[in-house]
Amino acid sequence: MSRLNIPKTYKLFIGGKFPRSESGHTYEVTSSKGTFIANAALASRKDARDAVVAARSAQAGFAGLTAYNRGQILYRIAEVLEGRREQFVSEIVTSEGVRTGSANKQVDDAIDTWVWYAGWADKYAQVLGNGNPVSGPFFNLSTPDPTGVVVSLAPQGAQSQSLLGITSVVAPIIASGNTVVVVAHHTQPLSAISFAEVLATSDVPGGVVNILTGDPAPIMPWLAAHADVNALDLCGGADLEWVSWTQDAAETLKRVLPPHDGIPAKELARLGFFTELKTVWHTKALG
């Protein structure tokens, strides 16, 4: 007796939960050969707004954790991702049309990226901060603080590596205590939503990472102009209307990281971009 095939509908990830799009709309996700794989939620402006609200609600608490604790959370993501390796390899092979060896390497690189940023979580402040020389009996110290809520567009190209792509934009954003709303690869969203299941079963507080799927064109202008978003990472926007989004972002004085060609490398500069230096003066004891 043959079993009934049950196609999966992949949902959004907002506030630590998996809601359907408020519009009820989905779109078909196909393999590299054009065959149907699953349905994915088509995020709307309302979904984007809900994601920003969730990210803002979670940001103060997440930033208030110790840097060492955030490093542990990032490392736990790597651990859970390692435990689900076979699932990710299978999805990458199916959706991206690559060989098993390439899929395994992509998973390895994604895990290594989480471990790399986990290691920097309690060290970046010592490198990016500074004791500033000043005239007078004062200490003048600068320290990097998280910028707040960040919207990121994951790499979108036909040759993009969907799991490594979303990892490479999310990890440096949350390492310093920011929260993020990330728009996943439009045509290859499976890794992103499976990765949301990793987040939900790790130690990441709800709302720290929020994942939207679907066409970025209708929702990115609204996210870029949103007054409660502090920074915009346009990594995957090279072939989209990213210039107009920077103009939208300027209305609320957001910092904007322009598009990146391919997958961003692991680098301290990317982590530092999503921080703001705060400077403190303190009187030296005399006598």
Helix, strand, or coil here: 192? helix
Domain that holds residue 110: 9-24+35-283
Q: What is the pLDDT of residues 45-91, one digit of tens each?
A: 999 999 999 999 999 999 999 999 999 999 999 999 999 999 999 99
Is residue 3 in a domain? Answer: no
Kindly state the average pLDDT of the residues 131-148.
Answer: 87
Per the DSSP assignment, residues forming a β-bridge with 139 are 282
Helix, strand, or coil here: 216? helix
Residue 13 has pLDDT above 80, yes or no: yes
In this prediction, residue 280 carries a pLDDT of 86
Is residue 135 in a domain? Answer: yes
Is residue 278 in a domain? Answer: yes
Q: What is the pLDDT of residues 16-37, one digit of tens each?
A: 999 999 999 999 999 988 999 9
Q: Which residue has the higher pLDDT, 272 or 158?
A: 272
268 Rama sector, left if φ>0, alpha if ψ -120 to 50, beta otherwise:
alpha
Total domains in the chain come to 1
Q: Please tell me the least confidently modeled range out of 135-144, 213-222, 240-249.
A: 135-144
CA distance 193 to 41: 10
In this prediction, residue 32 carries a pLDDT of 85
- CA neighbor of 158 nearest in space, from 243, 236, 217: 236
In this prediction, residue 133 carries a pLDDT of 85
In this prediction, residue 101 carries a pLDDT of 97
CB-based burial, 167-203: b 16+ in 10 Å, e otherwise: bbbbbbbbbbbbbbbbbbbbbbbbbbbbbbebbeebe
Residue 286 has pLDDT above 70, yes or no: no
Here the CATH number for the domain that contains residue 40 is 3.40.605.10
Is residue 195 in a domain? Answer: yes
Sequence-distant (6+) residues with CB within 8 A of 129 are 141, 142, 143, 144, 277
CA dihedral sign, ordered 201, 161, 171, 187: negative
User: CA-CA-CA-CA torsion for 109, 189, 212, 8, nearest 10 degrees?
Assistant: -130
CA dihedral sign, ordered 252, 180, 13, 68: negative
Which two structure tokens, joined as six digits, stand for 142? 């600068």
Is residue 30 in a domain? Answer: no
Q: What is the pLDDT of residues 87-114, one digit of tens each?
A: 999 999 999 999 999 999 999 999 999 9
In this prediction, residue 287 carries a pLDDT of 57
Across the chain, mean pLDDT equals: 94
Is residue 29 in a domain? Answer: no
Is residue 4 in a domain? Answer: no
pLDDT band (50, 70, 90) for residue 130:
confident
Residue 1 has pLDDT above 70, yes or no: no
pLDDT band (50, 70, 90) for residue 8:
confident
